Amino acid sequence: MRIVRESPTSPYVRFKAGSLELAHHHTFGHDLVVIKGKKKVWNLTKKESYDLVDGDFLFTPAGDVHRVKYFEDTEFFIRWDGHWDIFLDEDIETARSAIDAELGAASN
């Protein structure tokens, strides 16, 4: 993550293909725009999921628990108000199992 602006905080972020973000939440909402790549975001609070690719935008409200899987090397710009924080809501095995179950079910 490279911070490109503070207040509001605005980093440019890169994740490698296959990376996971465990279910987590923040005390701030955040906007993101995918520059390149492919990822899926599960908003567990809203029971919704989003497949994001180049140019897609997503807003996640403060407190919403969300999990992410990166299918390709992915770069995105994200912006939030306040200081960065993260509160983890699961462990890596729980995340992997949930993602594998959903993606496996989707391909059947």
Distance CA 55, CA 42 (A): 18
**If we measure between CA atoms, which residue out of 24, 56, 63 comes closest to residue 39?**
56
Q: Amino acid letter at 3?
A: I
pTM higher than 0.75, yes or no?
yes
For 14-68, how does the pLDDT look when each residue is reduced to its tens digit (9 = 90+)?
999 999 999 999 999 999 999 999 999 999 999 999 999 999 999 999 999 999 9
Q: Is the pLDDT of residue 108 over 70?
A: no
The first and second tokens of residue 94, run together, are 């729980």
Domains of the chain by residue range? 2-106
Distance CA 95, CA 89 (A): 10
Q: What pLDDT does 82 receive?
A: 76
The DSSP call for residue 95 is H
Per CATH, domain 2-106 is 2.60.120.10: yes
